[in-house]
């Protein structure tokens, strides 16, 4: 028994020794792989959140835009509110045409500032054509004529838009009407312009003791009220051409100030003022257009004036435009330009010198008027 016990004890000790000496097997730690399922779920959640925010912001903006548009119909001096229509560019060579009409409070039935804007988002350029408010529009039988600004009083924006479409043989789907208060707010929001006033400008309304326009000649910062006076002033000869030149100079300076802002600031500024305009372009589309133009440089924005000549009929001064040259301008907006067209047309002019050389008589409205040239001499330009 003792021997068996000893043998068992020795065998137990040897087993223990083997157990101690035998190396333990190490369990391999499983590498944690990328949980693509979790990433996919997180990505979907982020997309849903962003989409909800964008949709919510868009819904609010569309609601506010429609409310602002409907509120304008309560004013008797504004055209009937119409539903906004989506803004789209149908082809690369067909820009978005927008008719811009400025309305004078003293002549509420007339559109005193008329501009045709041609925006090509795909090509990144904007052409602005100034149409003098006294542009002569003849009846179809050529027996009578009237100034284009009087069509606004006869049929509001619809008739004015139809006349412009007939002049240029294009479709103009969109319009923006700017009254005096909306213009002043735009100047305050986008920044008061620094401009050289090329002459003393004084005007009295009939029977008034104080001047409603009173600007001294010289370089100055134009407040909202002074900017409006500068744009409204009509020369003694009654020709609206010079006023259109001045208005384009002012527009260029205002747009220049806006372009100096950050994209976020541009979008915010457009949102702040768009509800003050009477337009069939929604605030949302206006902001999308602004975003599309965010990188547009000054040389990509060109200014023209409808070519024509001064004409006096029965004591009334008209701007007699040439239909052929009007079509040449539309061709330019569509990209059908002369090879030597200037990249930076003169401010407030119909076309650049190189363009006028290539297009013959199109330079009738393409030269600086004497007042602007004199102003630039005084500035040392």
Cβ 338 vs Cβ 358: under 8 Å: yes
Nearest CA among 113, 366, 89, 328 for reference residue 233: 113
Nearest CA among 374, 337, 371, 376 for reference residue 357: 337
Chain-centroid distance, C-alpha 361: 30
Sheet holding 278-279, edge to edge: 278-279, 174-178, 96-103, 111-120, 125-131, 301-305
Between CA 301 and CA 128 the distance in angstroms is: 8
Mutual angle of helices 180-190 and 263-274, in 10-degree steps: 160
Alpha helix locations (H) across the chain? 2-21, 36-72, 150-168, 180-190, 224-232, 241-259, 263-274, 283-292, 323-333, 353-358, 370-379
Strand pairing class (96-103; 174-178) = parallel
**Four-point Cα dihedral 76, 316, 139, 334, nearest 10:** -80
Task: Provide the sign of the torsion angle of the four alpha carbons 176, 188, 349, 259, taken in this order.
Answer: negative
SS3 85: coil
Which residues, including other chains, have CB under 8 Å from residue 128's CB and lie 6 or more apart? 115, 116, 117, 118, 248, 251, 301, 302, 303, 304
Between CA 129 and CA 365 the distance in angstroms is: 11
pTM, two decimals, is 0.70
How do the domains of the chain map onto residue ranges? 82-379
Neighbour-count burial of 277, counting CB atoms closer than 10 A to its CB (0-12 exposed, 13-18 middle, 19+ buried): buried
* Tokens found for residue 69: 């548009």
| Other beta carbons less than 10 A from residue 58's beta carbon | 12
Which residues, including other chains, have CB under 8 Å from residue 10's CB and lie 6 or more apart? none
In the numeric block, the tokens 């990188």 are attached to 295
SS3 214: strand
Tell me the CATH architecture of domain 82-379. 3-Layer(aba) Sandwich (3.40)
What pLDDT, on the 0 to 100 scale, is given for residue 335? 86
What pLDDT, on the 0 to 100 scale, is given for residue 250? 93
What pLDDT, on the 0 to 100 scale, is given for residue 246? 93
Residue 380, Ramachandran bin (φ over 0: left; ψ between -120 and 50: alpha; else beta) = left
Tell me the pLDDT of the chain (381 aa) as tens digits. 556 666 666 665 555 555 555 555 555 555 555 565 566 556 656 665 665 565 555 555 554 444 444 444 334 444 445 678 999 998 888 999 999 999 876 665 566 899 999 999 888 899 999 999 999 998 766 778 889 988 887 768 888 999 999 999 999 999 999 999 999 999 999 888 899 999 999 998 877 888 999 999 999 999 999 999 999 998 888 889 999 999 999 999 988 888 888 888 889 999 999 999 999 999 999 999 999 888 888 889 999 999 999 999 988 899 999 999 999 999 999 988 765 444 343 333 334 333 333 333 333 333 333 344 444 444 333
SS3 140: coil
Cβ 273 vs Cβ 368: under 8 Å: no
* Tokens found for residue 366: 């393409």
Between CA 32 and CA 35 the distance in angstroms is: 8
């Amino acid at each position: 028994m003792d021997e068996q016990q000893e043998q068992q004890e020795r065998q137990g000790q040897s087993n223990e020794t083997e157990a101690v000496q035998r190396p333990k097997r190490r369990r391999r730690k499983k590498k944690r792989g990328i949980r693509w399922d979790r990433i996919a779920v997180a990505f979907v959640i982020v997309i849903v959140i962003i989409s909800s925010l964008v949709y919510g912001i868009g819904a609010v903006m569309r609601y506010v835009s429609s409310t602002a548009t409907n509120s304008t119909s309560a004013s008797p001096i504004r055209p009937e509110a119409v539903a906004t229509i989506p803004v789209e560019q149908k082809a690369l060579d067909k820009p978005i045409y927008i008719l811009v009409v400025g309305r004078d409070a003293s002549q509420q039935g007339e559109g005193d500032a008329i501009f045709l804007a041609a925006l090509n988002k795909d090509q990144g350029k904007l052409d602005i054509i100034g149409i003098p408010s006294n542009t002569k529009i003849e009846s179809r039988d050529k027996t009578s004529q009237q100034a284009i600004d009087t069509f606004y009083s006869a049929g509001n924006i619809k008739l004015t838009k139809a006349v412009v479409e007939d002049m240029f043989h294009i479709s103009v789907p969109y319009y923006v009407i700017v009254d005096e208060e909306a213009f002043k707010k735009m100047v305050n929001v986008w920044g008061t312009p620094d401009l050289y006033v090329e002459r003393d400008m004084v005007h009295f309304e009939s029977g008034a003791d104080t001047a409603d326009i009173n600007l001294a000649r010289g370089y100055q910062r134009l407040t909202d009220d002074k900017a409006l006076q500068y744009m409204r002033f009509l020369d003694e000869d009654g020709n609206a051409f010079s006023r259109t030149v001045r208005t384009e100079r002012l527009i260029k300076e205002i747009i220049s100030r806006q372009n100096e802002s950050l994209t976020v600031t541009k979008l915010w500024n457009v949102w702040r003022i768009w509800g003050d305009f009477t337009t069939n372009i929604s605030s949302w589309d206006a902001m999308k257009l602004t975003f599309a133009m965010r990188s547009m440089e000054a040389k990509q924005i060109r200014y023209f004036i409808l070519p024509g000549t001064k004409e006096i009929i029965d004591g009334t001064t008209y701007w007699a435009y040439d239909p052929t040259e009007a079509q040449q301008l539309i061709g330019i907006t569509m990209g059908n330009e002369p090879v030597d067209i200037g990249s930076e047309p003169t401010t407030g002019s119909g076309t650049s010198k190189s363009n006028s050389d290539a297009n013959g008589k199109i330079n009738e409205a393409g030269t600086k008027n004497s007042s602007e040239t004199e102003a630039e001499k005084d500035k040392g330009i």
